[in-house]
Structure 1
């Protein structure tokens, strides 16, 4: 999913450049570790959001498994996000991560014993099935929807209120749920960790009010929700920590303060006065706040920075004009100045994030490190001009249309790209657009709407599948899809299908790595950097850490010092 929409679902927003900052005296790894704080059960944790609302209905949520939705809703599986290794999928409500049929099209789950919802309703396969079916109803749409096309018959199903039950979800007994997929899909264990797989009691969630007071299965229940002001979570008396591998459930209460100014939030957290010592910010720290952080050595232990993050990239429209020529597109790999992009992002290379050379992001199982277009970070202008000449453009290329969203500093970043391209004789004309207008053009059906554009991508789940298929599958061209380069190669589509249908993660990883290399041979995008994210927390907040993937803190593990 494109990160702007995705961050709205998380309650995380990009401020200024939208990227993290590092302290002058510390590198990213030191900041990630921070100061060890002994945490204990109890207390009130405060979460400071700049958004004025949150999606609490699991059908409407696009929240990652480790963020706020996971505090109140359990799913069949969950994520563990270690600091020094890839994220892994673990059982949550289920006893294992799923048992696949030989062809990878049928997945069976058994529920753990003694599970209950916050209202005392036993969690059975019926509550899981109903919760999933609700997500198909148009009135409760908006959440992550991978399952809607993967489940057999899902493409035409319209939900339980008008379409009856979905036959491809079977519940032979209260503890067993069986999914029949339209095709083989090895990443199904990740899909069932998404919000829509949270249990909902039958008869509940029939109107919009459910979004502000859902029945919950996680450590917390919703005590009150005042939109624009506050969400208060208190302990769910029916949550059993012995059945939960993903959540510690340490604070007694969690208070989400909505509509907070991000600049003020940073100042409050650094000061850590009163309740702010027990708070963390859900928005990225922006570089404009670096000066204050650098002059405050004590803040070192309150700033947590990801090692890596979302892929920032330049998309080249493979169906338009000179960019239909692969050598022209390969010239862009050498023409760009990734150092200049880093500086435009956050002031210097270290703050922005490492240079990117692959499509699969760090922290994803099966990722292989390679560089098909080796060049200094500042580019290789001579090589770019050579390739342009070989492609029939010895005098360069003029009048390329470069629409860019004005949101999140994208226009400034695009200027850095524009200047670098000009050195190689590539003239690109920037066309600033508001974010909605840019999205309509970039994801619309007109193949001639632009030549190149700038974007970022953070996978929705920890699999190379979520790196590759949404950006390069033919099915994702137009109609709201994010194949911005309009890239369509049958060999790649075949590789994607093979990898998706492979149940063994190691074997699938090899196929995804092969797809990564094959796509980059055609140069439909220029990988720029893997963007770093930084977050601030109060002085009394502990276990606030960012794993290798995703580049966000794990809300489910946070605790407080006494």
Structure 2
């Protein structure tokens, strides 16, 4: 077991982290398009300063910090309050890495890949000084099964063995697939072999929750912290005030620079961007957790002063056209769409090269093991001749107008219009249906899926592994019933490939298998990869260590500080 790190070792580790950030910081800010990317200048990454108050402009009115209901990524808001068995190391110039958090390592697996065991570090405590035990982690996971605490990331619910019908611990039932033989050991029994389980244990539900302090109705506003900050005051829709957790220790990932962190809630992203662009003095110790909207992004990029506080990351999350394979059944038609679509026009709708780069694969940049390839080579504007050649081979070309569903946000509608123009040049008719987000979700993920033919969709993986790019979007189990397979794509051979790659325990072999699965899916063309999106963010001039990677395309809250 790892001994408690000395204060000197922790300071040395943090200094090394800061130097690594400084050495890898890319540069950039220019006037428009590629120039802005080539000239970008990021703030200098410095050793973290202890002190000050960091303010975060958040669009959520009630972000909530109940780990059972949270979809917060490991390096964003909830990671300040809750630790998990593992977490992510997100640094410039490096691939995302799963690293120990509460655990001493990233897990030990049985030869059959179905049992994973972790040992907790020494001297871990909650904010009230009580020890964190393996039973607290088990209880936290069990409560995530309660129907009243639904909405969080649920990968563990389908992977743990013997969970059918389980509805949480509130009526005295417990999971025998999670064992806690002593206070520092926790053992998981899985339904299937799963090589990415260390990534799963970094998700919110793996945060410890003390049974004696659980209040299902109010825990989101008054959680018991295991991370460097605890909730001092929570006013729904107004702000969340955090202060230091005096019992936080033995943490090699979180730098915990500010003494206080304030989340200002309910901010419109456009207004947040304007505040940081035009109100620098008032917002020196502030950053926005919302990506900069297209119009403000161009304004910021054109300013040499503001641009130094703008980070434009490498391309990451996938924007794609999901083709409903139960409606558009002929693979040659779907391949024709891959050739025909003017991806540059789609990208321009959200800001051009400042907003993204042309996509050709399903596994996105920033994900370990991604292989770059293009099965449908064409200029960014598309290749109508190749598209027409594919259509000639089709036996089932749709004669009716194709329904293209999109959310009714301006840039999404503009993207849909660009897609429709390209397809119409093949002699096909397209009807765009902009709808509210709730309607979009219901129509594309629920029911038989016969109310749309195509959908403009976006995907940012829940954890940095190819599994999270592929399985949720293309496994048959995710088609309908609330799943994210908006292409309604169901193919037994692809399901076998997904299962085999998921079960592979050798990370290098798994990467090769996922890359092969990506290519095999693209051969069947259930989607058109459109754009790898850039989510850019603004900070005040006193905010330091402000880094956004291609994954997860959000600022790494765990390392941010403020200048004195």
Q: TM-score normalized by structure 2? A: 0.92
The residue aligned with 2:375 is: 372
List per-residue Cα deviations over 1:49-96 (Å, max 9, x = no partner). 122111111111100000000000000001001211220000000000
* Separation of aligned partners in 1, 2:212 and 2:440: 40
* Separation of aligned partners in 1, 2:488 and 2:207: 35
Partner SS state of residue 308, structure 2: helix
After TM superposition, the runs of 4+ consecutive aligned structure 1 residues lying more than 3 A away are 25-39, 271-275
Partner SS state of residue 493, structure 2: helix
* Separation of aligned partners in 1, 2:154 and 2:259: 32
The residue aligned with 1:345 is: 350
The residue aligned with 2:11 is: none
* Separation of aligned partners in 1, 2:30 and 2:459: 26
The residue aligned with 2:500 is: 498
Answering whether residue 542 of structure 2 is matched by residue 522 of structure 1, we say no
The residue aligned with 2:214 is: 205
- Alignment check: 8 A CA contact 2:289 2:554 kept: no
Following superposition, the deviation at residue 218 of structure 1 comes to: 0.4
- Alignment check: 8 A CA contact 1:42 1:252 kept: yes
* Separation of aligned partners in 2, 1:432 and 1:285: 23
Partner SS state of residue 426, structure 1: coil
- Alignment check: 8 A CA contact 2:135 2:180 kept: yes
The residue aligned with 1:196 is: 205
* Separation of aligned partners in 2, 1:393 and 1:22: 49
The residue aligned with 2:296 is: 289
- Alignment check: 8 A CA contact 1:397 1:425 kept: no
Alignment of 1:283-362 (within 5 A): 283-290=290-297, 292-320=299-327, 323-346=328-351, 348=352, 350-362=353-365
Alignment of 1:38-49 (within 5 A): 39-49=48-58
Alignment of 1:218-297 (within 5 A): 218-240=227-249, 243-271=250-278, 273-290=280-297, 292-297=299-304
The residue aligned with 1:94 is: 103
Following superposition, the deviation at residue 203 of structure 1 comes to: 2.2
Answering whether residue 31 of structure 2 is matched by residue 24 of structure 1, we say yes
* Separation of aligned partners in 1, 2:73 and 2:503: 23
Of 148-157 and 292-301, deviating more is 292-301
Of 204-213 and 277-286, deviating more is 204-213
Following superposition, the deviation at residue 310 of structure 1 comes to: 1.1
* Separation of aligned partners in 1, 2:541 and 2:46: 9
The 3 A distance-change label for structure 1 pair 187 and 119 is: same
* Separation of aligned partners in 2, 1:66 and 1:459: 14
The residue aligned with 1:122 is: 131
The residue aligned with 1:406 is: 408
Following superposition, the deviation at residue 510 of structure 1 comes to: 0.9
Q: TM-score normalized by structure 1? A: 0.92
- Alignment check: 8 A CA contact 2:408 2:436 kept: yes
Answering whether residue 454 of structure 2 is matched by residue 483 of structure 1, we say no
Following superposition, the deviation at residue 295 of structure 1 comes to: 4.9
Partner SS state of residue 231, structure 2: strand
The residue aligned with 2:20 is: none
Partner SS state of residue 390, structure 2: helix
* Separation of aligned partners in 2, 1:515 and 1:53: 39
Answering whether residue 547 of structure 2 is matched by residue 545 of structure 1, we say yes
- Alignment check: 8 A CA contact 2:36 2:301 kept: no
- Alignment check: 8 A CA contact 1:87 1:548 kept: no
Larger RCO, structure (CA 8 Å, separation 6 or more): 1
Partner SS state of residue 442, structure 1: helix
* Separation of aligned partners in 2, 1:449 and 1:113: 55
What is the aligned residue count?
Answer: 535
Partner SS state of residue 160, structure 1: coil
The residue aligned with 2:23 is: none
Unaligned runs of 5+ in 1: 1-20
